Structures are given as C-alpha cells and as structure tokens.
Structure 1
C-alpha cells in the first residue's frame, strides 16, 4: 500500500510522515508565515500544510443564529463563522511564496482545499497531494473533484460514521484516487487523550486497505507516539512559533521544540516496532554473559558434597544454567574448587 507523495515515500516500511499544519497561526503576517516554515523545517517536519479558502467560500456573512459561535466552551466563542474564517484564512497570494520556502528546505508543501475554486488554484501551483478536513469528509462533490486530480488524498475521519467513511472512500476511489491515507481524528479543540481512540488506526487499515495515520489536536506528543506504535504512517499536528503570541489555533499547536520531539519520538516508536521475535538479537549476544549461572561460593575440598552453602546461582553467566541446580546438589566435587569457580559437569563426580 506504500506510495510516494512527491519525493517522500509513505508506508509502514518508512518513518512516519510528519506534517506541520500552519492553519491560521500566521496571524495575517506573511513574514510570520515564512518564519513558521523555517522553524518547521528546522524541527525536522517532512511536510508543511496550509488551508486554502476565503471566508466567502466557507460560509455566509451573517452573525446570528447558527452562523454565530455561542458555545462558551469553544475557543472561538463570540465570533461569527465569517469573521473567524476572515481572520484565519491564508491569503491565496501568499501560497506560492510559502510553498517555495518549504520546498527550498526539502519539505513537501500542499494544502486543504474547501471548494472547486481552491482545487483549481492549488492545481495551478502543482501541489503533490491534497488533504481533506474532517468537516468536509462527507462533501462528496469535493471528494470527487479532488480525486479526479489523480493525486494522493489524505482524509481526516473526524465525526464520520463507518457508513459515511465507506461512502467517502468508495467515491474517492471511483473518481481517480489510487493513493489514500485515512487519518484518525477527534474534532475537538483541543482533543483529550481519552477521546482520541487510537485503536481505531489499525482498524481503519484493516477495513479500507489503505495507509492510515493521525490528525492530532491533543496537547503534547503522547497520542501521536501511541498511534505510530499502532501502525500510523502519517501524523499531522498544528504548529506555531509561540503559543503565547496567540492565533486562532495556537492553544492546541506545537511549538518548535515540541515538534522536534514529535519527529524524534515518532521515528523511535516506528523503529521499535520491528517484528515478532524471541531469543537474543545479535546486539544482545554480549549480554548473555551477565545471566545467572552456578558458581562455587566458598572453597571446596575434593570429594565435598555440593549443597546450598557452597553453590549458588549468581551473575555472571559462565557456569551451568540454574536449572541444573537440583541435579547438582548432593553430588561431589571431583577436585578442590576455589570460591568464584564457574561450574561445569567436568568438575562434578
């Protein structure tokens, strides 16, 4: 199931692809946006992702009813949807400069489209892949349009039922998507570990026969590391220079040292998977000598009987294995033995 996104291979045989999501953390400053790209590259992220929309392509310019966020528990309480997206969007005229900066660092650069106009625009920039956000994972016309590009699709699964996901995946594949990644996602901001349910990651792989990963809105890197241990090959996290500087998504975004930790620890988790194996590895062979084994623990005369006062299982491991202790007790020493002698059967009558 592995495949390439640009120059980067994605699959179980490769280190996990780490995507730094800029979202609206540029705070409407191109200078800050480019600094975010530089910091993500320095931290070791493999890809930089934007979101491509305008307030008008997302919603209506209304500030009442369902178009206004009244939930007091929301990070964005007190804003209309339109004003939030106006504040958070990345100006389209910035995309080329941001992508060029990312590519100069050797990173992949792509985006999340939200309608046909954004797909057309991103096609003009030659993006190597597309991300579908959780809130659009049931927008089948958008899925069809993106799939028709023939480029890899990364789809977040937040809130989607199994039936909805099945319809989305079938639609994508029927309209040209050959390379697909499904990201387990919890659409709360921030998400809690308890609601992350990363055991879904291997289940997605089994059900849909595609690459799988995590779009993670939790704090820290623990959930992402757990997901990689369960087979995630892609991890997406929101990223900012400094949470204290604010921004629409800053509360649940990683800072540079945290992103560096994510890159390091997810690769370590991937390296640790290995395969089912028992017995000493080549690296462990030298440690065998420090196992317990049977040693003479006080000087013995020739013909003296072995008992618990003169033989014990101790480290290191150059003597008989401890499992031979019962067979040894009651037998005689063939010759005088000094304290610290590793026992073998040639010393026993």
Structure 2
C-alpha cells in the first residue's frame, strides 16, 4: 500500500494556528525532516458540534490540555480552512510528499473527493461513525483507521462496513486517545493481536512525547507511524504539547528507518558480511615442533584463534592420537596429520 515502511505521516492538525504561511512552512519543514506524508483534518466547527456553551459542550476534564474551552470555539480555532486544502496539498506533492486528510463528516468526504485525495484517514473518535466510514469506503481509496478506545466489536463493525462495500486497502493504527499519552499506556503488543484478528496491516498513531514508542512500534512491525507536528512548541498550537518539532521529527524518521532496516529476515549462520570474520573463531593448533610418532597431549596443543585448525569440539578426540608426520609450532591441526 505504501512505498516505504514504515510510512511516516506528519499530522499538521491545528498547529498552524490558522496562519496560512505557517502551514506552508510546516510542510516544508516536514519534507526536510524526511516524512512520507502530511495530513490535514477537514471539518468546521459546525460539522463537529453545536454552538452551546454549557454542560457537556464544555471541556471539563481536569487533566485536559483544553480544560475550560467550549467545544465549538476549540474546533473553530483548530480547523483548517477548506480553501487552504488544495494549495497545501499541491505544495506537499511538489515536495515529494503524499498529502491527504481526515474527514469528519459526509460534506468533508465530498469536498476531499473534488481534490482527488489519494487516501483517507478515519480518526479514532470517528471510527464508530458508520455512515462516515461507508462514505469513505465508497470512494474505493485506501483507508488508514485509528482504533483508539475501540473494543474488538467496534473494530469488527468498522472493518466489516468497509469490506461489505469494497476491497479498499485498509491499515489499522493502534492509538491511545489521551493527549499527551503516557508511554506506559501505549500497549504496543496489541498491534500483533489486532493484525491477527483482522488480517489488516497495522501501525501506530502516537500521542506520546518523544520518539521511543514510534521506534518500538516499528520494531514490532508497524507499517505506518503517525505523529503530530509543530514548528515550535513554545510558540503554541492546539496540539503543540504532544507534537514533534522538526529536529525531533527528523531524528524519529531516521530511528524508525534504522529500526525497520534492522528487522531483516530470519537467518542463521551469519550474514554475508559476517563470513570473513569466521576465520577469527578458535581452533586447535600445535604449540611445539614435534616429530612423527608423538602421542599428542594437552602440552602439545592449544585452542586459539584463528580458525584454520580442527574445531574445538574435536579436542577430546585428538588427545592421545599419534602424529603421522613431523609438525611445526603454530601449525593448525588437521586430520591428515594424525595416524
């Protein structure tokens, strides 16, 4: 489905602070960091919630980055203007990046289809929105779907919805839907179970700080890594607290590439590069000049480097053997020297 593995996505989210020039600068920086793709989010405050300023429409969790915000105002601040999508996509593509988005309602899907996006992302909070998933599946395009908070039954429902409509390539992401997420809550072992349960490739949507979890996920077989991106955390941005700056993203990309390259294949007996080093293993050598007819003892032999003599496993067999020829100190012991 993707040309590189892991396929690394820089999520711009609302960290552009609705500054178009900043959004463009973020895309340039993401490309320089070596990511494969940039992702936007396609919604408006009106497609996300109602303009109500009390009760459940207020962020009330004491540990939330957005505590005290009204949902409508928060989404209005974090949204990416729809008129930006095409120029931002074109900029990303000109820099060799894949550019796509997460739609949050049916109007967003219809809009993104006019831009001919190459794939879609379903966000964790939307993976129970079956009508949205149906609309995305009907495009026939590849889908990446985050599974944060989802039960197996909810995942089964979403996957079955897609499969009933078409054969869209589908990748499922392990995700912890807290912001920022604690490393100990990552539970990356779920990825293998998720892959076995659904038959889908898997990856990680990572909200932790730092690169360790992404690298670990790569080592466990993640095909996709998604990480939020910001130019400068100190300058703010709705998701800045758990987003990577350019130098950090570059380091993560390099570390994930190294982790993936290290997986290689199942191999025993050493790689091609190791073969030359085998001569520095130990073997049995003669330690004295000896005449033919000598019965060999531990005083005549030593297990040393290099490995041109008989292997050390033959030590018990050669003790007590008789030399059939004269030998020199430093000569590797061989069967044809023995009577």
The answer, yes or no, to whether TM exceeds 0.5 is yes
Alignment partner of 1:73 is 2:63: yes
* 8 Å CA contact retained: 1:154, 1:182: yes
Alignment partner of 1:329 is 2:305: no
> How many pairs were matched up?
338
* 8 Å CA contact retained: 1:24, 1:90: yes
The equivalences for 1:1-349 within 5 A come to 3=1, 8-9=2-3, 14-296=4-286, 298-302=287-291, 303-335=293-325, 337-349=327-339
User: What does the per-residue CA deviation read over 1:241-271, in whole Å, with 9 as the maximum and x for residues that have no partner?
Assistant: 1222221111111122222222222222222
Tell me by how many angstroms 1:46 deviates: 0.7
Q: Would the alpha carbon gap of residues 177 and 243 (structure 1) be closer, same or farther in structure 2, given more than 3 Å must change?
A: farther
Q: Name the CA distance, whole Å, in 2 between partners of 1:35 and 1:216.
A: 22
Q: Name the CA distance, whole Å, in 1 between partners of 2:157 and 2:27.
A: 35
TM-score by length of 2: 0.94
Tell me by how many angstroms 1:25 deviates: 1.2
Q: Name the CA distance, whole Å, in 1 between partners of 2:306 and 2:13.
A: 57
* 8 Å CA contact retained: 1:138, 1:164: yes
TM-score by length of 1: 0.91
Gaps of 5+ in 2: none
Gaps of 5+ in 1: none
Tell me by how many angstroms 1:205 deviates: 2.0
Tell me by how many angstroms 1:332 deviates: 3.8
* 8 Å CA contact retained: 1:149, 1:176: no
CA RMSD of aligned residues (A): 1.8
Q: What is the SS of the residue equivalent to 2:166?
A: coil
Q: Is the deviation greater in 233-242 or in 277-286?
A: 277-286
Q: Name the CA distance, whole Å, in 1 between partners of 2:325 and 2:212.
A: 60
